[in-house]
C-alpha cells in the first residue's frame, strides 16, 4: 500500500513536470529587450504563443513599464482596459488565456513603438492537464524545450504504467 502511494505521488510530480517542461519563455525583443524604436510586430510575428507560455519583458527598471491593455488602448497608446501593470524590469507574464493580448509601455513611449500584440493559441490536453504542444522551432533553446517535453512525457507515461502494474498486483 505504501509503495502504491509513493508511485502515485511520483506520477503527480511527473505530471506537473510535463506542464512546466512544455512552456516557452518568449523574451520580448530577444537580445534587444523592451526599448523604443524596435519593430515588435516583426518580433511577435516570428513567435508562436501557446496557453501556458510566458512573455517576458526586460528593461531598465524605473525607465519603462509594461501595461496589458485592450485593443483600443493598444491602437491609441492609452490605458484603456488596463488588465495588468508590471514595473520590475524583468517581468514574467503567464499567458493563461487563448486570444489576442496587447502590451504597451505606459511611460509615454508607446508612440515610439513600445507596444506588442500577441496571439495565444490553445494548448493540447494530455489527460486532464492542458499543455502546449512541443515547440517546432530550429533554435537550440526550442530544441532543448522539445527534448525536455518529450523526456518528461516519457517519464510520466512510465510512471503511469508502473502504477497500473502495482494496482493489478
Q: Which tens digit of pLDDT belongs to each residue from 117-159?
A: 999 999 854 444 555 555 544 333 444 444 344 344 434 444 4
Average pLDDT over residues 48-75: 97
Q: What is the pLDDT of residue 135?
A: 53
Q: What is the pLDDT of residue 152?
A: 45
CA–CA–CA angle 109, 114, 118 (5° rounding): 150
Contact 135, 142 (CB under 8 A): yes
Q: Domain spans of the chain? A: 1-22+134-169, 24-124
Contact 28, 57 (CB under 8 A): yes
Q: Is the pLDDT of residue 83 over 70?
A: yes
Q: Is the pLDDT of residue 41 over 70?
A: yes
Q: How many whole angstroms separate alpha carbon 111 and alpha carbon 78?
A: 10
Higher pLDDT, 9 or 66: 66
Q: What is the pLDDT of residue 60?
A: 94
Percent of the chain with pLDDT over 90: 58
Contact 88, 62 (CB under 8 A): no
pTM summary value: 0.64
Q: Domain 24-124 is of which CATH architecture?
A: Sandwich (2.60)
Q: How many whole angstroms separate alpha carbon 169 and alpha carbon 13?
A: 23
Q: Does residue 73 come out as left (phi exceeding 0), alpha (psi in the -120 to 50 range) or beta?
A: alpha
Average pLDDT over residues 72-87: 96
**pLDDT tier, 106 (very low <50, low <70, confident <90, very high otherwise):** very high
Q: Is the pLDDT of residue 81 over 60?
A: yes
Mean pLDDT (the chain) is 76
Query: For residues 94, 92, 137 and 71, what is the CA-based torsion angle, rounded to 10 degrees?
Result: 60
Cell of 6: 509513493
Amino acid at each position: 500500500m505504501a509503495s502504491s502511494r509513493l508511485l502515485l505521488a511520483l506520477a503527480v510530480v511527473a505530471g506537473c513536470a510535463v506542464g512546466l517542461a512544455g512552456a516557452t519563455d518568449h523574451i520580448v525583443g530577444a537580445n534587444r529587450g523592451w526599448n523604443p524604436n524596435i519593430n515588435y510586430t516583426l518580433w511577435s510575428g516570428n513567435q508562436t504563443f501557446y496557453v501556458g507560455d510566458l512573455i517576458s519583458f526586460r528593461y531598465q527598471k524605473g525607465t519603462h513599464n509594461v501595461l496589458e491593455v485592450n485593443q483600443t488602448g493598444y491602437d491609441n497608446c492609452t490605458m484603456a482596459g488596463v488588465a495588468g501593470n508590471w514595473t520590475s524590469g524583468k517581468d514574467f507574464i503567464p499567458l493563461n488565456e487563448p486570444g489576442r493580448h496587447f502590451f504597451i509601455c505606459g511611460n509615454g513611449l508607446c508612440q515610439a513603438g513600445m507596444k506588442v500584440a500577441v496571439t495565444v493559441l490553445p494548448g493540447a490536453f494530455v489527460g486532464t492537464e492542458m499543455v502546449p504542444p512541443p515547440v517546432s522551432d530550429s533554435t537550440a533553446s526550442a530544441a532543448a524545450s522539445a527534448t525536455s517535453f518529450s523526456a518528461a512525457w516519457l517519464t510520466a507515461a512510465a510512471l503511469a504504467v508502473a502504477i497500473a502494474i502495482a494496482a493489478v498486483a
